[in-house]
Structure 1
Amino acid sequence: MDTSESLGLFADWAIALMETLGSVGAGVAVAIENLFPPIPSEVILPLAGFAASQGSVVLWQVLVWTTVGSVVGALALYGLGAWLGPARLRRIVDRMPLMKVSDVDRTEAWFAKHGSKAVFFGRMIPIFRSLISIPAGVQRMPLLRFTLLTAAGSAIWNTVFVMAGFLLGEQWHRIEQYADGLQLIVVAAVIAAVSVFVVLRVRQRVQGTPTT
């Protein structure tokens, strides 16, 4: 399936939800997108904006319900992280090649210091916008703080894409190419970081550097 076919598939799915549920359908679509990151919010949100420009749904209601959907999806992943918990996470990491339990400790220390900023700004970064909820749950970030930060970050992200679709009208799909470029940058950065991590950790093992 090529990109245009995928775009059409997601668009048809989102349209069906909005035709059935109105603005609430846009929120449901975004909630599902949070749980399944391969579903692109960069398609759902501009399409919802386009629907608002045609009078099919009300713009402010779309903005409210898409933000609600983002929070609901994020809370589900937060719950997954809370269920996982630090102890279970350590046991999993201890069985993984090239990983150390101390990696979890360093991550916990980093999240304790920067977690609020990570949750807020993470909501505006493709891929991470969903995944950031899991470490927040593992570390049991206060639920009210997590919810408010998620709502604020999501509201900014959603408003940008919904309004772009509203203003572009029938050309709403043009946003996809710019969103794809941003996602490509994020994926490339992740691959580079993982590659550096693997090389350094393998070098430590070969050289017999003591693990910490």
Structure 2
Amino acid sequence: MSVLQDFVTQYGVYAVFLFLALGIFGLPMPDEFVIVFTGYLSSVGLLTIVNAMIIAILGVFIGTLVTYTIGKKVGRPIIERFGKWVGLSEKRVSRVERWFSRYGSWTVTLGFFVPGMRHFVCCFSGMSGMAVKRYMLFSSLGTTLSGIICITLGYMFGWPFN
């Protein structure tokens, strides 16, 4: 985490935005850790809490839009080609797509509260054909709520929740 702290010290909110926008892919580290750590960095004065929340929410939201777009454009062909290697059979993919046609909107929102889940939810939202405006609405709701909670936890309790 010292790398993140060094980047934030040097580049401020731009570093947080970049780490969180890329964090949706797990690069350079999972965004769940980065967003809580951002709250901690606010508590020690490297960022203001308001700027941290705004930048963190925007960073995660942009990352989820990119993942949604990847899912929409190339998700299905990638799953068809490589899915069998990771246990994603055609039957499982069809089941997930049916799930998204029924409950996809709320799955997007609630997926932000399950570590690691948001990565798959964003991609499968695009693959399932969810309308981009609908996706943006429910994604922004999940991003905002989870962002406020995670940053507040990092701010109040420190890293790693002393």
- Do they fold alike, i.e. is TM over 0.5? yes
Alignment match, 1:158: 147
Q: CA deviation at 1:17?
A: 2.4
Alignment match, 1:181: none
2:130 is equivalent to residue 130 of structure 1? no
Alignment match, 2:5: 15
User: Which of 35, 43, 49 is the equivalent residue of 2:25?
Assistant: 35
Alignment match, 1:174: 161
Q: Distance in 1 between matches of 2:79 and 2:30?
A: 31
Alignment match, 1:81: 71
Shift in alpha-carbon separation, 1:37–1:128, aligned structure 2, 3 A: farther
Residues 133-142 or 76-85, more deviating: 76-85
Match of 1:174, SS state, is: coil
RMSD: 2.5
Q: Distance in 2 between matches of 1:136 and 1:82?
A: 8
Q: Deviating runs (4+, > 4 A) in structure 1?
A: 97-100
Q: Percent identical across equivalent pairs?
A: 20
Q: CA deviation at 1:89?
A: 6.0
| CA deviation map 1:39-58 (0-9, x unaligned) | 23343223222222232211
The gaps in structure 1 that reach 5 residues or longer are: 1-10, 176-212
Report the number of matched residues: 161
Q: Distance in 2 between matches of 1:34 and 1:90?
A: 19
User: Which of 94, 115, 120 is the equivalent residue of 1:105?
Assistant: 94
Shift in alpha-carbon separation, 1:100–1:58, aligned structure 2, 3 A: closer
Alignment match, 2:130: 141
> What TM-score do the two structures reach when normalised by structure 1?
0.66
Q: CA deviation at 1:71?
A: 1.0
Shift in alpha-carbon separation, 1:16–1:96, aligned structure 2, 3 A: same
Larger Rg over CA atoms? 1
Q: CA deviation at 1:166?
A: 1.4
8 Å CA contact 2:19, 2:27 repeated in 1: no
Alignment match, 2:109: 120
The gaps in structure 2 that reach 5 residues or longer are: none
8 Å CA contact 1:23, 1:58 repeated in 2: no
8 Å CA contact 1:37, 1:127 repeated in 2: no
Q: Which has the higher contact order (CA 8 A, sep 6+)?
A: 2
Alignment match, 1:92: 81
